[in-house]
């Protein structure tokens, strides 16, 4: 398995593209305007990292499916870069005008309970960014659908918080809290009422997610340790030991036929050692 550290800085053109797109987006419900503004401010750096990860691993002619596309900032950015992008989301109507203005295909689908509305082996790449930690019903079903709609040899790009990060270890040891990037069990479930989707159910280590994907039928080829762009002692330590960064992304290839998740497998014997 290849191990990489996300760059400390991303190209300015990525930020310009994201800023231009975000400036054109308004939620259909005015009550979500403050939430969207905060979301983009908080995730701007991460979205630039998503673009970097995709550009490095996905050919421009690839057919891509994005899970969880609202707000559609990354979706619109990939369309602007000429990727053939489709998407699914729980409630795309929240940003219907923006989706229409960018001529995006974002289909309503509850990916925890419903099959995604595409035929087998339709896509070359599936993006599953910052979603795995939100799954609360049956991740085997949800990732089984990802496996189904990917062509043989297709790629899954999955990013999620790194429980075994420096911040995660600090929170566990010093604050008696089991998280790396979120906080408050009540607040995470409260989002079901305020936003219509779950917050973080739990966060995972790289080994846990790699082992899970292996059982579904994916081979993890690369891990990219992400985030941790802060300063001070924590930032320095995260630079020196990338595996302690607060997020990671896995680049995984579909290596088994549909239904392969019924067979035990494991590709992560390396564990989480730095």
Write out pLDDT tens, residues 64-77.
999 999 999 999 99
Q: What percent of the chain has pLDDT over 90?
A: 78
Per-residue pLDDT at 193: 84
| Average pLDDT of the segment spanning 16-43 | 95
Query: Among 125, 45, 118, which Cα is nearest to 84's?
Result: 125
| Average pLDDT of the segment spanning 40-53 | 96
Write out pLDDT tens, residues 261-272.
433 333 333 444
Q: For each of the domains in the chain, give its residue range(s) and CATH number, in order of start.
A: 2-255 (3.40.50.150)
Average pLDDT of the residues of the chain: 91
Q: What percent of the chain has pLDDT over 70?
A: 93
Q: Positive or negative, the Cα torsion across 80, 85, 86, 90? A: negative
Write out pLDDT tens, residues 166-210.
999 999 999 999 999 888 899 999 988 887 778 899 999 999 999
Q: Is the pLDDT of residue 154 over 90?
A: yes
Q: How far is CA 142 from CA 148, 178, 230, in A?
A: 10, 24, 33
Q: Which residue has the higher pLDDT, 256 or 59?
A: 59
Taking CA 212 as the corner, what is the angle to CA 208 and CA 217, rounded to the nearest 5 degrees?
A: 150
């Amino acid at each position: 398995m290849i191990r990489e550290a996300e760059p400390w800085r991303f190209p300015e053109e990525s930020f310009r593209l994201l800023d231009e797109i975000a400036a054109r987006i308004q939620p259909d419900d005015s009550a979500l305007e403050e939430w969207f503004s905060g979301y983009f401010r908080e995730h701007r750096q991460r979205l630039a990292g998503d673009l970097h990860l995709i550009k490095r691993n996905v050919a421009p002619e690839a057919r891509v499916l994005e899970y969880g596309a609202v707000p559609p900032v990354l979706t619109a950015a990939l369309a602007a870069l000429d990727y053939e992008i489709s998407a699914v989301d729980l409630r795309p109507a929240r940003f219907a005008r923006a989706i229409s203005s960018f001529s995006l295909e974002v289909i309503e689908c509850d990916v925890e309970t419903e099959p995604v509305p595409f035929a087998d082996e339709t896509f070359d790449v599936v993006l599953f960014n910052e979603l795995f930690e939100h799954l609360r019903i049956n991740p085997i079903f949800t990732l089984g659908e990802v496996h189904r709609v990917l062509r043989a040899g297709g790629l899954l790009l999955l990013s999620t918080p790194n429980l075994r990060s420096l911040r995660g270890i600090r929170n566990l040891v010093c604050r008696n809290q089991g998280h790396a990037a979120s906080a408050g069990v009540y607040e995470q479930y409260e989002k079901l009422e305020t936003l219509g989707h779950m917050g973080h159910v739990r966060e995972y280590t790289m080994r846990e997610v790699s082992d899970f994907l292996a059982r579904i039928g994916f081979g993890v080829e690369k891990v990219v340790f992400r985030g941790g762009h802060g300063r001070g002692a924590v930032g320095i330590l995260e630079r020196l030991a990338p595996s302690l960064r607060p997020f990671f992304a896995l680049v995984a290839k579909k290596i088994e036929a549909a239904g392969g998740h019924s067979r035990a497998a494991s590709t992560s014997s390396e564990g989480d050692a730095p």
